[in-house]
Structure 1
Amino acid sequence: MSKINSICLVAMLVMTIVSVSNFLGFSIAGISVIVGIVFFFINRVLEKNTSSDTGLNVKAIGINLKDKSILFWIGLPLVINIVCFILATLFLPEFIEHIYLRTEFMVSLDKILLLVLQLAILALGEEIAWRGFFQRQLSKWLPIIPTLILTSLLFSLGHLAVGNIVVVSYDIFFIFINSVLYGVVFYKTNNAWISAISHFIANLFIVIVIAFF
């Protein structure tokens, strides 16, 4: 194993450990995003890659967005979130409060421009860490389907919050589904900007619903 791969593997193990730390009562899962972002750029320097090679290509955004099949995948997490909240409204109303409590410390619902900026930064940060770094590195050792499943499982567990087990399980299930979809977007485009757009749109819908209720 090369030195670069060894460094990336250590970073991925750290992200994994931090993501599952919620099970031990530690609320430090967000550190996994910081680790992923840092090592994304460290790996970029070590491999001497351009932005197009690493999965963060600004120039390709326009090209990707002109592809109707990509637009379908970008919008699918939003559809999933709509289904999620419709079902929750009908059968699991406690879910709305759970989401509010899980996200209130991250976003400013009373300041629209700040809210949009926060959501954009959070989405891009998570996509660089989990898709641009973790998924991309993991795909060097595993086929794409197990890569998507394992990456999304860890990503979902990083969002685990205290609460009713049914509500928490419902929350984690839909986070997992959307994470797989973000992973598919990244796999098809090799561009974390595009998966971040999908992530941002889906999260914006959630915050709008929370604010409404």
Structure 2
Amino acid sequence: MESSKKGSAINKIDFIVLSVMALLSLTPLFGAKLSGLSVILGLVYFFVQKRVRKLSPAESGLSIRAIPSAFSKKAIFLWIALPLAADVFSVLLSKWVAPDYLNHVFARSTGIISYDDIAKLLLQVIVLALGEEIAFRVFFQGTLSRYLPAAPAILITSVFFALSHLTFDSPFIMVYDLTFVFLNSVLYGIVFHKTKNGFISTFAHILSNLFGILLIVLR
């Protein structure tokens, strides 16, 4: 009975944390830059509940030892490459329909990362991608997946993930940018769903971000 009550309490806290993360992700809609707090909240709570529930790395969805097993499945390389392909397509298409797209992405990212030091930039890309994947894929999507089928869990997570990246600009540029952020989030979500390992979706996320940064630097 005591164990059941404890599990129920944890589930309620899960719901509260998910709700607060969702609300923080929506703050850019109102001109407030608080969406980064959703990542911090998700990160902190993930490690707290991992300890409270005494989850193994594999059970938590963040296992270094399981990485070789995930990469042994050749199909996963296709899913990892798809966000990169989406980035290439978004940039090529933007040349015709949204010429200021890369400038918009640069403006969106300058408040988070520094382009002055390459070593620092690479570290920031890795840390930020890992943080977002733990918060949004491992915790947010992983928690939703306990109550919903994979598809709606991935889609709901991706809606909030995309909106957390909102930066005001012309309506078309904003929609264009968020569309591809949403698409990439769905692809990261599929990678996580297939591997049950946030390190693999982080790898896909890092590759995508590095490509985007390279294009911004060369623009």
TM-score range, shorter chain: over 0.9
Equivalent residues, number = 213
The residue identity in structure 1 corresponding to 2:130 is L
Distance apart, 1:91 and its partner CA: 2.1
Give 1:69-148 correspondences, 5 Å limit: 69-148=75-154
Contact 1:55 1:132 in 2 (8 A): yes
The reply to whether residue 162 of structure 1 matches residue 168 of structure 2 is yes
The residue identity in structure 2 corresponding to 1:151 is T
Runs of 4+ aligned structure 1 residues displaced above 2 Å come to none
User: Which residue in 1 is equivalent to 2:62?
Assistant: 56
Q: What root-mean-square deviation, in Å, do the aligned CA atoms of Structure 1 and Structure 2 show? A: 1.0
Cα offsets for 1:3-57 (capped at 9, x unmatched)? 1111111100000010001112211101000011011111111211011100000
Is 17-26 or 162-171 further displaced after alignment?
Answer: 17-26
TM-score (norm 2): 0.95
TM-score (norm 1): 0.98
Counterpart Cα distance in 2 of 1:19 and 1:108: 22
Gaps of 5+ in 1: none
Distance apart, 1:110 and its partner CA: 2.5
The reply to whether residue 68 of structure 1 matches residue 68 of structure 2 is no
Counterpart Cα distance in 1 of 2:96 and 2:65: 43
User: Which residue in 2 is equivalent to 1:184?
Assistant: 190
Partner-residue secondary structure (3-state), 2:152:
helix
Q: Percent identity among equivalent residues? A: 39
Counterpart Cα distance in 2 of 1:122 and 1:65: 22
Gaps of 5+ in 2: 1-6
Distance apart, 1:109 and its partner CA: 1.8
Choose the corresponding residue for 1:32, options 38, 45, 50: 38
Distance apart, 1:105 and its partner CA: 2.1
The reply to whether residue 205 of structure 1 matches residue 215 of structure 2 is no
The reply to whether residue 45 of structure 1 matches residue 51 of structure 2 is yes
Distance apart, 1:80 and its partner CA: 0.3
Counterpart Cα distance in 1 of 2:175 and 2:115: 25
Distance apart, 1:89 and its partner CA: 1.6
User: Which residue in 1 is equivalent to 2:159?
Assistant: 153
Cα offsets for 1:68-109 (capped at 9, x unmatched)? 111111111000000000001222111111011000122222
Contact 1:4 1:46 in 2 (8 A): no
User: Which residue in 1 is equivalent to 2:4?
Assistant: none
Distance apart, 1:145 and its partner CA: 0.8
Counterpart Cα distance in 2 of 1:200 and 1:154: 19
Cα offsets for 1:125-154 (capped at 9, x unmatched)? 000000110001011111111111100000
Partner-residue secondary structure (3-state), 1:2:
helix
Counterpart Cα distance in 1 of 2:30 and 2:107: 20
